[in-house]
């Protein structure tokens, strides 16, 4: 497993050759075909028995999905993996494809909103036991483990507080208890962290975010270290119809080719912006995993090193009026609930991702009306600092 072997870990694939041509396209063709024809029943036998490789029906797999699955797999340091129609498809494949009624799973209590909802609403309805714990506390995970516990699902960087999970501590607990460790690596990306190297058994991605990176395609990926588990995930994804469309895969491949460059630029912007924002008037706090004043600075340094990523949160001292003034004044930056776009996007958890919580519950997480999360994009650094500084100024005047 090498970390810096070129833009995609040295894994750039040559597209399939064009029929009847000695030369080949430099871009992967799109294969929209739902079905694939074979020469004879014997040829089909050979394919189903794995003696030759080939496609049959696109829900079961198609070239565009395989190209993208292999790219993500190479970045995470495993072979292949399964592509799904969204990040939630990948979460579903793990939680519903591997376990059964009576099993118990543990989740981080600050997981992505829909993952949390699946654990709180859907899994109990299907007869699962579920416990939600602070992923910053490996002892809490250990205390939640029962004889019937099958898996622990965590994200390394919590949304929107950007707290850092005790990945190594939890990996140790899981290993000792014989429980699968599942890591949703969407926020961190394999550029900053490769969970399999820290003992994860299964890794999940929403490619919708940074990996595809242009807010024009929804896609997910799940990969497992153990071949038998990978196979079960793949079979479930096919059975449940989680397979993505060839065109979406093609868009994602195109986006992923520039992922390392986009990541570096967005991260450099986030670091510079955090630096510029800490001393602004009306700024209660700035949270960025690469900063020494981050609440989990030591853990961040150990896990992601200098790779603090592109996500930055901050809290204005003003309330809702200041928040309204901030988004209205942030010229050219979209106030929109996503992340990983080429442009900087602004999220206000109190009115979006965390609106279902009571003000007290939000308060316990440190999410006030003045709390914002930025997904920093690829703008020119000085221009971005200027726009944010002006928006904070407008917020101060309003709130
Ligand atoms: C967005 C996201 C998901 C879900 O991905 P979709 O592609 O939107 O279904 C899962 N986990 C994390 C951490 C996310 O940010």
Q: Write out the chain's pLDDT in tens, 399 residues.
A: 333 333 344 444 555 566 788 888 888 899 999 999 999 999 999 999 999 999 999 999 999 999 999 999 999 999 999 999 999 999 999 999 999 999 999 999 999 999 999 999 999 999 999 999 999 999 999 999 999 999 999 999 999 999 999 999 999 999 999 999 999 999 999 999 999 999 999 999 999 999 999 999 999 999 999 999 999 999 999 999 999 999 999 999 999 999 999 999 999 999 999 999 999 999 999 999 989 999 999 999 999 988 999 999 999 999 999 999 999 999 999 999 899 999 999 999 999 999 988 999 999 999 999 999 999 999 999 999 999 999 999 999 998
| Pair 202, 181: CB distance under 8 Å | yes
Three-state DSSP state, 311: strand
Instruction: Report how far residue 212's alpha carbon sits from residue 92's, in angstroms, rounded to the nearest whole number.
Output: 20
* Residue 322 and residue 399 in contact, taking contact as beta carbons nearer than 8 Å: yes
What pTM was computed for the model?
Answer: 0.94
Ranges in the chain annotated CATH 3.90.1150.10:
259-398
* pLDDT value at residue 189: 97
CA angle 304, 365, 370 (to 5 degrees): 95
Burial class (CB in 10 A: 0-12, 13-18, 19+), 112: buried
Is the backbone peptide bond immediately before 160 cis, with ω within 30 degrees of 0?
Answer: yes
Candidate of 85, 88, 213 to mutate for ligand 1, largest count of ligand atoms within 8 Å of Cβ? 88
Return the SS3 of 131: strand
Q: Are strands 149-155 and 129-133 parallel, antiparallel or unpaired?
A: unpaired
Helix (H) or strand (E) holding 209: none
**How many other C-beta atoms lie within 10 A of the C-beta of residue 304?**
21
The whole-number pLDDT of residue 17 equals: 61
| Of 87, 193, 214, 242, best ligand 1 pocket probe by most atoms within 8 Å of the beta carbon | 87
- The residue from 142, 194, 209, 262 that is catalytic is 209
User: How many CB atoms lie under 10 A from the CB of residue 179?
Assistant: 21
Q: What angle (nearest 5°) sits at the alpha carbon of residue 145, between those of residues 155 and 205?
A: 20
- pLDDT at position 23 is 82
Query: What is the structure's pLDDT at 16?
Result: 59
**339, 377 Cβ separation under 8 angstroms:** no
Instruction: Give me the DSSP letters along 37-92.
Output: --S-HHHHHHHHTTSS----BGGG--HHHHHHHHHHHHHHTSS--EEESSHHHHHH
**Closest residue to atom 11 of ligand 1, CA basis:** 112
Is 209 a known active-site residue? yes
Whether 112 is a known active-site residue: answer yes
**93 C-alpha to ligand 1 centroid (Å):** 14
Strand order in the sheet with 202-206: 82-84, 220-224, 202-206, 180-184, 149-155, 104-108, 129-133
- For residue 347, the CA-to-ligand 1 centroid distance in Å is 15
Residues of the chain with CATH 3.40.640.10: 2-30+61-256
Interatomic CA distance for residues 272 and 377, integer angstroms: 12
The whole-number pLDDT of residue 145 equals 98
CATH code for 2-30+61-256? Answer: 3.40.640.10
* Res 109: pLDDT: 95
Q: Which fold has domain 259-398?
A: 3.90.1150
Q: What is the pLDDT of residue 380?
A: 98
Closest CA to 155 of 211, 203, 217, 190: 203
Distance CA 270, CA 272 (A): 6
Using one digit for the tens of pLDDT, what is the confidence trace for 15-67? 556 678 888 888 889 999 999 999 999 999 999 999 999 999 999 999 999 99
CA distance 280 to 32: 52
Distance 397 CA to ligand 1 centre (A): 35
Give me the residue label for tokens 């516990």.
149
- Kindly name the residue from 166, 184, 248, 341 that is annotated as catalytic: 184
CA of 354 to the centre of ligand 1 (A): 15
Q: Who lines ligand 1 at CB under 6 A?
A: 86-88, 112, 115, 155, 184, 186-187, 206, 208-209, 218, 220
Residue 172 bears catalytic tag? no
User: What pLDDT is attached to residue 15?
Assistant: 57
Q: What is the pLDDT of residue 7?
A: 39
Whether 288 sits among the annotated catalytic residues: the reply is: no
Angle 340-343-346 from CA coordinates, rounded to 5°: 75
31, 112, 225, 271: which is the annotated catalytic residue?
Answer: 112
Q: Single out the catalytic residue among 55, 59, 172, 393.
A: 59
How many helices (H) and strands (E) the chain has is answered by 15, 12
Over the stretch 102-124, which tens digit does the pLDDT of each residue have? Answer: 999 999 999 999 999 999 999 99
- Distance (Å) from CA 38 to ligand 1 centroid: 37
Query: Are the C-beta atoms of 345 and 333 separated by less than 8 Å?
Result: yes
């Amino acid at each position: 497993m090498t970390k810096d072997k070129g833009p995609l870990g040295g894994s750039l694939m040559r597209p399939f050759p064009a029929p009847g041509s000695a030369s080949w396209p430099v871009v992967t063709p799109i294969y929209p075909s739902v079905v694939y024809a074979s020469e004879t029943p014997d040829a089909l036998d050979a394919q189903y028995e794995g003696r030759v490789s080939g496609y049959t029906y696109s829900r079961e797999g198609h070239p565009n999905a395989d190209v993208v699955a292999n790219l993500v797999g190479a970045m995470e340091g495993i072979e292949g993996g399964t592509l799904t129609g969204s990040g939630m498809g990948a979460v579903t494949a793990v939680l519903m494809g591997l376990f059964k009624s009576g099993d118990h799973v543990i989740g981080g209590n600050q997981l992505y909103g829909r993952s949390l909802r699946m654990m709180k609403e859907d899994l109990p309805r299907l007869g699962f036991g579920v416990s939600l714990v602070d992923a910053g506390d490996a002892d809490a995970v250990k205390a939640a483990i029962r004889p019937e516990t099958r898996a622990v699902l965590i994200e390394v960087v919590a949304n929107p507080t950007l707290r850092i999970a005790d990945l190594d501590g939890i990996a140790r607990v899981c290993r000792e208890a014989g429980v699968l460790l599942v890591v949703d690596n969407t926020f961190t990306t394999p550029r900053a962290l490769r969970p399999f190297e820290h003992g994860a058994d299964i890794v999940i991605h929403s490619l919708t975010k940074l990996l595809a990176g242009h807010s024009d395609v929804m896609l997910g990926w799940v990969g497992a270290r153990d071949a038998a588990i990978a196979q079960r995930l793949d079979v479930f994804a096919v059975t449940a119809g989680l397979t993505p469309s060839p065109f979406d895969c093609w868009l994602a491949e195109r986006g992923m080719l520039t992922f390392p460059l986009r990541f570096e630029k967005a991260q450099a912007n986030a670091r510079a912006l955090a630096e510029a924002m800490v001393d602004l008037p009306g700024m209660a706090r700035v949270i960025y995993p690469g900063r020494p004043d981050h609440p989990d600075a030591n853990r961040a340094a150990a896990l992601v090193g200098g790779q603090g990523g592109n996500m930055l949160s901050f809290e204005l001292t003003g309330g809702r009026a200041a928040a309204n003034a901030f988004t209205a004044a942030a010229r050219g930056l979209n106030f929109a609930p996503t992340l990983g776009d080429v442009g900087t996007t602004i999220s206000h958890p109190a009115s979006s991702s965390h609106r279902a919580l009571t003000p007290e519950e939000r308060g316990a997480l440190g999410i006030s009306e003045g709390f914002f999360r930025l997904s920093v994009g690829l703008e020119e650094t000085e221009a971005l600092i200027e726009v944010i500084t002006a928006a904070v100024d407008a917020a101060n005047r309003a709130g």
